[in-house]
Structures are given as structure tokens and as C-alpha cells.
Amino acid sequence: MAETITAEDPLTGEEIQLPADVEVGEIVDSPATGTELEVVSLDPVTLEEAPELEEDWGE
């Protein structure tokens, strides 16, 4: 079985399981809401709602 770590979903406060090899900047989906979350820290593991990507029209 793969190693996992837990982190708190910043939107619901629920504990969610993440792969142990997760990296800062990685995007994961919240199992409760489906919202994209970004890993912003590994010690402790901290998640924040991922920013919406805006289209770059070559400006």
C-alpha cells in the first residue's frame, strides 16, 4: 500500500489523504468539494485553494 500523509482541507476543515511524495506547488482535488487545492508547504503540509488560471493571450 502506498504511503500517505494527511492535510486539512482549507475549505471544509476535513482531513484528506495525500501521497507521501506530494510536492510544493502540486495541485490536488478536494474529495469533499472537488475544488482544486495547491500544496503550499510540506512541514506541516498546508493546502490553499488553487488560484484560477487566467488566459495569457501573448501579452
Query: What residue type is assigned to position 35 of the chain?
Result: T
Q: Tell whether 12 is covered by a domain.
A: yes
Query: Residue 26 falls within a domain, yes or no?
Result: yes
Give domain status of residue 20, yes or no.
yes
Query: 17 lies in which domain range?
Result: 4-49
Residue 59 placed within a domain: no
The total domain count for the chain is: 1
pLDDT in tens, 2-42: 799 999 999 999 999 999 999 999 999 999 899 999 999 99
| CATH code, 41 | 2.20.28.160
At 53 the pLDDT is 73
In a domain, 55, yes or no: no
Is 57 a member of any domain? no
Dihedral sign computed on CA atoms, order 46, 49, 51, 53: positive
Q: Say what the pTM is.
A: 0.82
**Is it the case that residue 54 has pLDDT exceeding 80?**
no
Q: What is the pLDDT of residue 1?
A: 59
